[in-house]
Each structure stands twice: as C-alpha cells, then as structure tokens.
C-alpha cells in the first residue's frame, strides 16, 4: 500500500517535470514522510529560478554594487538606554489643559485640626501649593466670620496667604461659584468650625463630585468642647492630622485658653484673646491660679 502511494507520487511529480514551462526539483524528499505514505517534495517553479541568460545579464550589476558595510553594534550604554521605556512627564500647564473625567466616589477627605496657633492654616496652604504644583486646580473657601485678615485671602499668622472665596454657607458658595467649583480638582476649606453645612458639603464633594477636599479648623473650643462639625468628618476621612503649637511653658500645646471674660463659643480673635496651652497650664488657669495675670503682665 505504501509502495503504491510512493509510486503514484513519483509518477505525478515526474509528469509535472516533463510538462513544458513547469520544472520541479525532486531533491528535497523526506524519507520519513515517504515511509508514512505522505509524498512530500519541495516544488520550485521555473519562474522562481533565474535562467542562465538572466544570471549572465545581472552579473555586471552585482559586481558594480558596493559591498555591504559591516554592522557595528552600538555601545552597551546605548543599548541599555534604548531598552528602558521612556514615559514623558506632562507639564503642569498640560495637566491644567487636560480634559477632566470625574468618577463618582473617587474623591477624598483630609482633615487638619488643632487648637489656636497650631499651624493649621499654614499646613493647609502648604498642601494647596503642593497640589497646584502638580497642575491641579484648587478652589479655596473660608468663612466670612473670620474678620482678622482680608476677605479675599486665606492668611496665616506667619504672613502666608492665597486668594480665596469668602462665604457664609458652603452650599451657597457651590452655587455662587459653580464654574470654579466644577473646574476644581481640590477644595480647600479654612476655619471650617464656622460652617453649619460642612458635613453635607464635604460628603457631596467627595462622594458625588469626585473632589479632593482638605479641611482645616478647630476641633474644640476654649472649654475643650466639640466645635462645629469638623469631628463629624473623622469617620469618613482618609487622613486626619492633629497639630500642636507651643505652650508658654515650653510644652506642646493642645488647647486654646481664652483671655477674655466671655462664654460665647464663637469669639473671633488672635493673640489678644487666645493663648496656646498644654494640659497642665490649662488646668492651672481653670483652678484659680494666677496664670492669666502672669501672662497679661508679660505682654
């Protein structure tokens, strides 16, 4: 059976070789395939084999062709540099001009809290400048109850300041400056203890609008009670920073000591009304010691 198949295959290819205009090379035959009864031969048509006349005509051209130059491998440093993928870093201007795609729930909440003179505003401004350096758009908001400095800027005790929007309500500010809010990637809020709609605004901004919100404010009043809604945001915040100042005794301050005889929770003022104190000095001041008189005498 196998021999008859091989014979028919040989007759077939010999017949094709005898036909005019069709030449077949029978040199490449796999003996293993022949034993299996699978005739296999590499055909090479006459059109693919140059004739002697064509070879004679192209010989001068081949002799006149320049010799191929030797390929020199590039230095190892060049090869290594070419192997390392290059990812260009976009400039801040390019980032600002990029289309903004907001995914609901993709925002974040970061809290900066502490007593008076702990550096909360300075830390807020530092983070805002850092985000602006990345090419992100920032909208700064502050309460109109903070009358210590200019209304158009958020200012720290050390003299740093950035332009902001002043508002009595965060939700109203969102409507009043809708274009700025929509374009902002980061929302910065200073003196957050004065906003009664802080929780609602921050929740919507981070969970619905995909904003990154940085909130700075007092966590407690002069009686060490909760002040505003800042502490209500702790369970939903990605980061919470508790800052401390410097007490008059040299210890780290954690509380605000009011120097005026007023029981109102909201009493806006600076160094003329408040002192940063530690626990020991706070307790001394509230147990009838002469700390307040001594502090006033040193002014």
Question: Cβ distance 99 to 141 under 8 Å?
Answer: no
Phi-psi region of 210 (alpha: psi -120 to 50; beta: other; left: phi over 0): left
* CA separation for the pair 256, 277 (Å, rounded): 6
Helices (H), the chain: 2-18, 31-35, 52-64, 76-83, 92-96, 120-133, 170-176, 178-183, 198-207, 279-285, 291-297
* CA separation for the pair 280, 288 (Å, rounded): 13
Strand-pair partners of 242: 113
Q: Give the torsion through C-alpha atoms of 113, 203, 110, 143, to 10 deg.
A: -50
* CA separation for the pair 144, 101 (Å, rounded): 32
Question: Cβ distance 110 to 243 under 8 Å?
Answer: no
180 noted as active-site residue: no
Active-site residue identified among 166, 180, 191, 266: 191
Helix (H, G, I), strand (E, B) or coil at 275: strand
Encoded tokens for 145: 């109850």
* CA separation for the pair 159, 161 (Å, rounded): 6
By annotation, the residues acting in catalysis are: 191
């Amino acid at each position: 059976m196998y021999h008859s198949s091989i014979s028919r295959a040989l007759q077939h290819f010999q017949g094709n070789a005898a036909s005019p205009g069709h030449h077949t090379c029978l040199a490449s035959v796999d003996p293993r395939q022949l034993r299996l009864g699978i005739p296999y031969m590499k055909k090479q048509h006459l059109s693919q084999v140059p004739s002697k006349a064509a070879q004679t005509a192209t010989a001068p051209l081949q002799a006149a062709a320049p010799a191929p130059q030797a390929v020199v491998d590039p230095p190892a440093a060049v090869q290594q540099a070419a192997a390392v993928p290059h990812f260009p870093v976009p400039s801040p201007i390019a980032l600002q001009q990029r289309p903004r795609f907001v995914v609901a729930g993709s925002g974040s909440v970061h809290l900066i809290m502490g007593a008076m003179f702990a550096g909360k505003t300075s830390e807020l401004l530092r983070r805002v400048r850092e985000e602006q350096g990345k090419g992100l758009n920032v909208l700064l908001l502050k309460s109109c109850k903070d009358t210590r400095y200019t209304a158009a800027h958020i200012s720290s005790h050390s003299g740093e300041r950035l332009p902001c929007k002043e508002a009595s309500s965060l939700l109203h500010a969102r409507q009043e400056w809708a274009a700025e809010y929509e374009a902002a990637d980061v929302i910065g809020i200073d003196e957050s203890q004065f906003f009664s709609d802080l929780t609602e605004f921050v929740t919507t901004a981070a969970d619905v609008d995909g904003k990154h919100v940085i909130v700075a404010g007092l966590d407690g009043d002069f009686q060490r009670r909760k002040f505003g809604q800042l502490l209500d945001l702790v369970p939903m915040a990605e980061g919470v920073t508790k800052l401390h100042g410097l007490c008059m005794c040299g210890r780290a301050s954690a509380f605000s000591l009011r120097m005026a005889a007023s029981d109102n929770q909201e009493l806006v003022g600076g160094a003329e009304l408040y002192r940063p104190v530690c626990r020991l000095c706070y307790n001394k001041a509230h147990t009838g010691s002469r700390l307040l008189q001594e502090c006033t005498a040193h002014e």
